[in-house]
Amino acid sequence: MNSPLSNSDIPILAKLGEAYKSWHLYIQHVPKITRFTLGAKIDNLFTECIHLALLASHQPREKKSETIELLNNRFDSLKFFLKLLWEVKAINTNVFTQISIQLAEVGRMIGGWMKHSR
């Protein structure tokens, strides 16, 4: 019987998972009015990015490039909405910085993945 993949099997999933866990700790502190709008949007984008990374990791090379491009687009949206959440002061600078640092590493990994999938 095959065991499910662990996050450590695919480095980008491990990094996305770490960033999501950090986000998940703070979403409950986002003001209610924003938690159910921008907070929900960010949460959905995080899970969509994780899903796309998992999907791309199992695709044949000829399909992988398109999925990674979609992942990159969703990831850019995630970063934009996270910054917007910080700009409206729904999360503090320390939280924003911590998650942004984690996401910067994920962004580099996506860029490398895009380069190698072409």
Instruction: Sketch the domain layout of the chain as residue ranges.
Output: 10-117
Give the fold, CATH level 3, of 10-117. de novo design (two linked rop proteins) (1.20.1440)
Residue-averaged pLDDT of the chain = 92
Provide the 8-state DSSP code for 10.
Answer: S
* Rounded Cα–Cα distance for residues 29 and 27 (Å): 5
pLDDT band at 28 (very low <50, low <70, confident <90, very high): very high
pTM comes to: 0.90
**Exposed e or buried b for every residue in 46-72, given b needs 16+ CB within 10 A?**
bebbbebbbebbeeeeeebbebbbebb
CA 8 to chain centre: 16
Residue 43's pLDDT is what? 98
The mean pLDDT of 28-37, rounded to a whole number, is 96
